[in-house]
Structures are given as C-alpha cells and as structure tokens.
A = this chain, B = another copy of it.
Amino acid sequence: MAKALTDRCQQILEAIIEEYIATAQPVGSKALTQNHGIRLSPASVRNVMAELEDLGYLVSPHTSAGRIPTEKGYRFYVDTLLRVSDLNTRQKDQIEMKYRRHGLQMADMLREASRTLSSFSQHTGLVMIPRLKVTVFRHIEFVKLSPRQVLVVFVTQSGMVQNKLVEVDEELSPSELEQITNYLNRTMSGMSIQEVRARIVAEMAEEKALYDHLLRRAFALSSAALGDETDGDVIIDGTSYFLEQPEFSDLRQMKNIVQAFEQKSMLVDLLDRGTDAVGVQVIIGSETQYHELSGCSLITAAYSGKRGNLGTLGVIGPNRMPYSTIIPIVDYTANLISRLLDTEND
C-alpha cells in the first residue's frame, strides 16, 4: 500500500500542478522555488520531484525538461489538495443576470446555461436535456396530419414541448381524438412520464380496457408516443475554446474530439454518469474510458426540478483545467438552474 505523502510532498505537488495549469509548460525545480513560496532550494525540490515521479504523480517528457502531472496526479490534486472557494457576489450576480430575461422557457434556460458555463470557464460547456421519463406530464394534444398519421404533442410541467409522429392502423375521427385527449389529460396530468407509462401498462392489462375500444386506442396511441425514449441530447457551447489549448494543437486528436462532440453519444454517457450524484463530479482523462477523449476532463453536476434530478451539466476541457475556478462555476450554475426550475410555474 502506498504510504501517505508528507505535507511537503503535497505542497510541492500542488504547486507543480497549479503552475502547469497556468503555463502548460513542464515545471522545473527552479521556477517552483521562485514563484510559489516554496522555501527550499531547487536541489531539495528535485529530490521531492523524483520521489513524486516514482510514485506516479508526475512524469517528465524527457530528461532535460521539467515535470508534468499524470492523471493520478490530477486525481490526487482534485481529491485532496484542492480547496474550492465560493464565487464572490459579483460573479454570482453576473451569472444570475443571464437568466433575468422574462419568460425564459426551460429550453432557452438550458441553452443559456451552456453558453454561460462556456464563457465563464473559457472552456466547452455541456448541458444535458432532461430525459423524457424524468419529466412531469402536463398536457397532451393530437393533431391529425393525414388519415393515418397523428402528431402527438405533449407538454411537460416545465414547459418543454415534445412531439412525435404516430402511424395508426385505423383512422380516428376528430371526436374520437377529442375524447382521447380529454381522457388522457384528465387522468394523467401531474404524473411523471414514468408513472404514466406504468399506468398505461397496468390499465392495458386490466379487463375494462379490453372492452372499451376507445380506451384501448387511447393507450395504444399514448404508449406509441411515449414509447421509445430519444437518446438524450446535449447542448454544447464553446467548442472553439478547445482550439486554443496548446495540448490539442495536434490536428488528429483535435479531429477526434470534434467528431466525438458531433456524435454526442459519448457526452451523453459521461453526463449520465453524474445524474444521481450529489455535488460536483470530476472525470479525468482515461476515466472517461473513451480513447477519443484522452487528455480531456469533465467537471459535472446534476440539476434538479421539483421531482428530483433532471439532468447534468458541466464543462469539458483538457486535463489541465483550472479546477479551482471552474468547479464553483459548475456548482453554482447547477444550483441556480435547479432553483429556477423549482420555483417557476408554481
């Protein structure tokens, strides 16, 4: 078992990581003693650095260069060394200001969140749209587009609008549609989509549905509409910040990352991992388990509405991200969004 690092080791490791985050250059022993209040000679620092390298917290890209942190180094830094401060009031106000616009719908709010995360962190902002199943049903409407096609529009409690085109076997008359609409709105309003689904399944199994033609069609229609969950969507903002990072000046890797952003599925997966966690999560480099995203780290936090967690938001950037400043931004934004979603429409 690895023995605990001495205080001095930790202090030096912290200094190295912070210096590297600031400069993106390998950190040498001399630079450290000059700028970081380390009251030791370069030689002593070198001994410590050698030790830290042995333990796997640092590597040197070549003999005559300084050291750079490994993923293990970042992990240790984030877990034990980092002390995140709160945002000051001015920063909070600046962020909050962005949401002051009147009548902001949820979708706009989330877009704004992505934008804000990006511009305040100077890295790429990510916001996951709530999955259907965690939202609360409010209203459903059917619009007949052609004899066999019905557009199902439904609105969630928070004002998100989803729509789906459903093919029906047998034409529905306007009055039938209206009855179905009324029935569903009456019985299901206020339930979560998950509950609605469960209810549909339960009622379909029951006797009475068998004999009520209209009811059966109502359930068939709504279950078709609520059926297959969309894959989850992510709002990305500030991709261009990636192009500023010296570590990605290699175009091949840059292309991998941009492609990953276009596909979104990896981001969805990564954000999903943080849905049930409380507070801020940090995923570093290979912890993503996607080689396309090697060298990338994420800082994420879940946001919630009235009924528990809705989704996750965060920032993605190089491992060498200023965690201490971004973590509070992500944290504050997630809380702010949660607050806004919780108090609205009451």
Q: Which residues of A contact B (CB under 8 A)?
A: 102-105, 138-139, 141, 143, 145-146, 149, 151, 153, 155, 159, 161, 163, 165-167, 237-240, 243-244, 249, 251, 254-255, 258-259, 262, 344-346
Contacts and interface: CB of A to CB of B under 8 A. Distances in A.
B161 A161 contact: yes
A163 B161 contact: yes
Given A102-B167, A146-B346, A153-B153, A243 B262 contact: no
A183 to B, nearest CB: 16
A216 B166 CA distance: 35
Contacts of A143: 138-139, 155
Nearest to A246: B251
24 contacts: A103-B149, A103-B165, A103-B166, A103-B167, A104-B165, A105-B151, A138-B143, A138-B145, A141-B153, A143-B155, A145-B159, A146-B344, A146-B346, A151-B159, A153-B153, A153-B155, A159-B165, A161-B161, A161-B163, A239-B239, A239-B262, A243-B251, A244-B255, A249-B251
A180 B138 CA distance: 20
Contacts of A159: 145, 151, 165
A156 B238 CA distance: 32
Contact of A240 (B104, B141, B259): B259
Say whether chain A's binding surface is mostly helix, strand, loop, or mixed.
mixed
Contacts of A145: 138, 159, 345
Contact of A255 (B243, B251, B258, B346): B243
Given A138-B143, A149-B345, A262 B240 contact: yes
Contacts of A166: 103
A105 B145 CA distance: 11
A195 to B, nearest CB: 19
Contacts of A139: 143
A291 to B, nearest CB: 16
Contact of A146 (B104, B254, B255, B345): B345
Which 3 pairs show the lowest CB-CB distances between chains A and B? A161-B163, A240-B258, A243-B255
A138 B153 CA distance: 13
A102 B149 CA distance: 11
A345 B144 CA distance: 10
A176 B255 CA distance: 55
Given A103-B149, A103-B165, 16 more contacts: A102-B167, A103-B167, A105-B163, A138-B143, A146-B345, A146-B346, A149-B345, A153-B153, A155-B163, A161-B161, A239-B258, A240-B258, A240-B259, A243-B251, A243-B255, A244-B255
Contacts of A346: 146
A304 to B, nearest CB: 19
A80 to B, nearest CB: 36
B141 A105 contact: no
A307 B47 CA distance: 77
Contacts of A105: 151, 163, 165
